[in-house]
Structure 1
Amino acid sequence: MQVNNDDERKWYLATKVLTSGLDATEQAEWETLKNDLTFQQEFTLIEKYWSKLDTLPYQQIDPEKDWKIVRDRVQQQVPLQRQRVAMPWLRYAAIIVVCMAVSFFVGSRMRNGLFSSGSQQLTTIEAPAGSKTYITLPDSSRVWLNAKSKISFDENFGIDNRYLKLEGEAFFDVVKKKTPFRVETPLYTVAVLGTAFNIKAYSDDDHVSTTLVRGLVNIEYTTPFGATQIMQLKPNEKIIASRTDSGDASAKNYIFNHERGIDAENETSWKDGWLSVKGESLRELARKIERLYDVKINFENEELKTYRYTGRLRQLSLEQVLKALSLTSPVEFTIDEKNVTLRENQSTKSKYRSLQAP
């Protein structure tokens, strides 16, 4: 794209900041623009209204109409003598409207304003059972949602906060900013500035875990005595909280273990289409399969639930995954639409040696 003058170049870069991101050369240019206070004030105002404007009809995007709504609101805030200076970025308005909508909604199921907390509207993005979802958040951070997972955040996310709630499993690649990025799970909160990490916090699992790929994260939770405990993770480290009883999902019912020297890339390979397990029982593995393929798994033999597995398998069809399971353990299966039944294969049972949990 050819840009003809300095003002147009500024707003071309601003467009990319809000949508696709900058390359290394452009990032260097953007850093120098931080000394241009007038431009930064205008950009902050644009960024604010874009993130907060809840009247944009995302289901039927009309760039000219949508931009006019934003432009009119902004021009009410910008003094008349400065409006001529700000005009060059108007030609990029339609591009920004479309690109922001596309980058934010690709592959996702979004429900806007279904819940409210006080005067704040919440946005919920969900990956239903049987699918995964990738999203770019308003602050340009990226999130991969695993099957049967969702995140929620309010209308000020990326403006005066970077706070969201997670149910299920997600991989976060967080853009570094001064405002902390905080993810609340039912058990604890993960706080970062800029990093890449994975959180697994399904309500029906016995374990809640956070794995760090790069950067630093703090795990914050409340002890049974009411004190705040903070545990810090470094790359290739993992926090596993294991449930001790059937009580509510609070820290008092969990034991926290800090693991070091793990293979973080393997731990997060689910987002790249792998099914990885390490010393997991068939009961735990069955839950993963149920979420990934949107099925219900039934056990004819309770003993099967205790068999343990370690390995990595490409997420192929349901039948292919179950066949791989039957080749490594005495398991037979039948599939009836969305119902899967597992039973022991008596003829191969004596050949199977269960892997014990580490």
Structure 2
Amino acid sequence: MNDKNASSRKIKIQNEDQLHAKIITDPEEQKLEAAFLIQKIDSVDIEKGFKNVSRRIEKKARFIHNINIISRVAAILLIPVLFLSVWYNVINKQNNQIETTYHTVNCPVGIKTQLSLPDGSLVWLNSGTTVKYQLPFTNKTRKIEMDGEAFFEIKKDRIPFIVNTGNAKVKVYGTEFNVKAYSSDNQIEVALKEGSIGFTATNNMDEKRLSPNDFLTFNKTTNAVETINQNINKYIAWRNNQLVFDETPLSEMALMLERWYGIQVEIKDDDLLRYKFTTTFENEPLLQVIELLELSSPIKIKYIPTKIDDQSNVISKAKIVINKK
């Protein structure tokens, strides 16, 4: 190979852009191109390339490691969140159950009973009385709902005690008192033995405070409230099994007898409604009460005992029929 050709080939090798820009057909030039590529490959910095790859692998490993740490921290933080969520749901469910849990006590007609409330307060239930209260009883308020008549001995507590009768409520400040509030009656009566209570009608926000021996009446029709201070023993004597009539009209006496003995009373003559009775019975059986009433007044009483219908098997209440003598 002469010098001219060698020089020409060197120029071609050095002029790399021109060499790559054209199609090489000459066999000698193809050999030189191959030698050039081999030389270029040999000149690659392998160590530098390895370092670059290592850095990339290390960077990716750090990224994965950080992701794992973040995942673990998130899982640890999630545990108390889940615990609080479960705790809240359980407590909320318990609170909802508390709001809808009630205990009801029914005292049948002709029966009187004593009830001890969860807070230690005592309640005497008269015949035909129903009371209902929420459990737990001392959650936020000590509140009972009642239909009938009851005497209360309330244990003092910072939590207020409220008696709800539907038409009115009695707020208690630690005391002994009687509430007569049958839904079938047109009047509510409250008698305070000792302590202090507040009476509020449903349609009136003003509270009426009562002092010992105050007797309050509330007319459901007129919403009239009257209070007098007097001897209230006759209004609370029933809890000691005393049936007290004190200038009591026959119509009212008949209702008291119905509830006390669980019977029906029929008054045959309207003229008898103007009669008033004053007497006291203590643990007297019905037949003896009938006999004593006949002896002390111009009335005649017929007693009709309980009967069972042969076809329906329905048991009828005992009945007394009051007539003039």
Do 1:164 and 1:182's aligned partners in 2 also have CA atoms closer than 8 Å? yes
Corresponding position: 1:279 with 2:259 = no
Q: Distance in 2 between matches of 1:317 and 1:303?
A: 27
1:203 to 183, 186, 190: 183
Post-superposition Cα deviations, 1:77-97, rounded to whole Å, max 9, x if no partner, equal: 9xxxxxxxxxxxxxxxxxxxx
Match of 1:191 in 2: 171
In the TM superposition, residue 303 of structure 1 has moved relative to its aligned partner by 1.7
CA distance in structure 1 between the aligned counterparts of 2:236 and 2:99, rounded to whole angstroms: 36
Two-structure CA RMSD over aligned residues (Å): 2.0
Q: Is the 8 A contact 2:149 2:182 kept in 1?
A: yes
Secondary structure (helix, strand or coil) at the match of 2:272 reads helix
> In the alignment, what sits opposite 2:22?
none
Give secondary structure in 1 for the equivalent of 2:163.
strand
Instruction: Give how far 1:312 is off.
Output: 2.2
Whether 1:293 and 2:270 are equivalent positions in the alignment is no
For 1:344 and 1:205, the matched residues in 2 are separated by 27
**Residue 166 of structure 2 contacts residue 202 of structure 2 at CA under 8 Å; is this kept in 1?**
no
Alignment correspondent of 1:231? 208
User: Once the 2 structures are TM-superposed, how far is the Cα of residue 322 of structure 1 from its aligned partner?
Assistant: 1.7
Which position in structure 2 is the counterpart of 1:107? none
CA distance in 1, matches of 2:233, 2:103: 30
Question: What is the CA–CA distance in structure 2 between the aligned matches of 1:242 and 1:136, rounded to whole Å?
Answer: 30
Task: Give yes or no for contact 1:335–1:341 (8 Å, CA) kept in 2.
Answer: yes
Are 2:219 and 1:242 aligned? yes
Q: Partners in 2 of 1:206 and 1:317 — Cα distance?
A: 29
- Where structure 1 has 5 or more consecutive residues not aligned to the other structure, the ranges are 1-76, 78-115, 245-252, 346-358
Q: Does the CA contact (< 8 Å) of 2:98 and 2:136 recur in 1?
A: no
Contact map agreement 2:170 2:200 (CA 8 A) in 1: yes
Contact 1:142 1:172 in 2 (8 A): yes
Partner of 2:113: 133
Q: Which has the larger radius of gyration?
A: 2
Is the contact made by 1:315 and 1:321 (CA closer than 8 Å) also made in structure 2?
no
Matched, 1:182 2:151: no
Q: Which amino acid aligns with 2:283?
A: Q
Mind listing any 5+ residue stretches in structure 2 that lack a counterpart? 1-86, 88-95, 306-317
Identity among equivalent pairs (%): 28
Q: CA deviation at 1:234?
A: 0.5
How far did residue 320 of structure 1 move? 1.2
Q: Cα offset for 1:156?
A: 2.3
CA contact (8 A) 2:178 2:190 kept: yes
273-282 or 140-149, which deviates more: 273-282
Matched letter for residue 296 of structure 1 = Q
1:1-358 matches, within 5 Å, as 119-223=99-203, 227-244=204-221, 253-260=222-229, 262-337=230-305, 338-345=318-325
Q: What is the Cα deviation at residue 165 of structure 1?
A: 0.6
1:119: how far off? 4.7
Corresponding residue for residue 43 of structure 1: none
Counterpart contact for 2:144–2:164, Cα < 8 Å: yes
SS at match of 2:184: coil
Quote how far apart the aligned CAs of 1:307 are.
1.4
Deviations 1:82-121 (A, max 9, x none): xxxxxxxxxxxxxxxxxxxxxxxxxxxxxxxxxx999511
State the TM-score, normalized to the length of structure 2.
0.64
C-alpha separation in 2, matches of 1:181 and 1:168:
18
Deviations 1:173-213 (A, max 9, x none): 00000001000012210001210000001122232100000
For the residue of structure 2 that corresponds to 1:228, the secondary structure is coil
Kindly tell me: are residues 267 and 119 of structure 1, through their superposed partners in 2, closer, same or farther at Cα, counting changes over 3 Å?
closer
The question of whether the paired residues in 1 share the 8 Å contact of 2:149 and 2:180 is answered with: yes
Q: What amino acid maps onto 2:184 in structure 1?
A: D
Cα deviation for residue 243 of structure 1 reads 4.7
Q: One-letter code of the match for 1:343?
A: N
* Alignment TM-score, normalising by the size of structure 1: 0.58
Identify the residue that residue 104 of structure 1 maps to in structure 2.
none
Q: Deviations over 1:209-266 (max 9, x none)?
A: 000000000001244xxx412101100111012354xxxxxxxx33211111x22233
Q: How many residues align?
A: 219
Partner of 1:109: none
> Separation in 1 of the partners of 2:99 and 2:177?
31
CA shift digits 1:109-167 (9 cap, x unpaired): xxxxxxx9995111111110010010110000000000000110111212322000110
**In structure 2, what residue type is equivalent to 1:238?**
F
User: CA offset at residue 276 of structure 1?
Assistant: 1.2
Q: CA deviation at 1:293?
A: 0.8
Contact 1:179 1:193 in 2 (8 A): no
Q: Secondary structure at the match of 2:103?
A: strand
Contact 1:146 1:271 in 2 (8 A): yes
Of Structure 1 and Structure 2, the greater helix share is in 2
Distance 2:298 2:178 in 1: 32
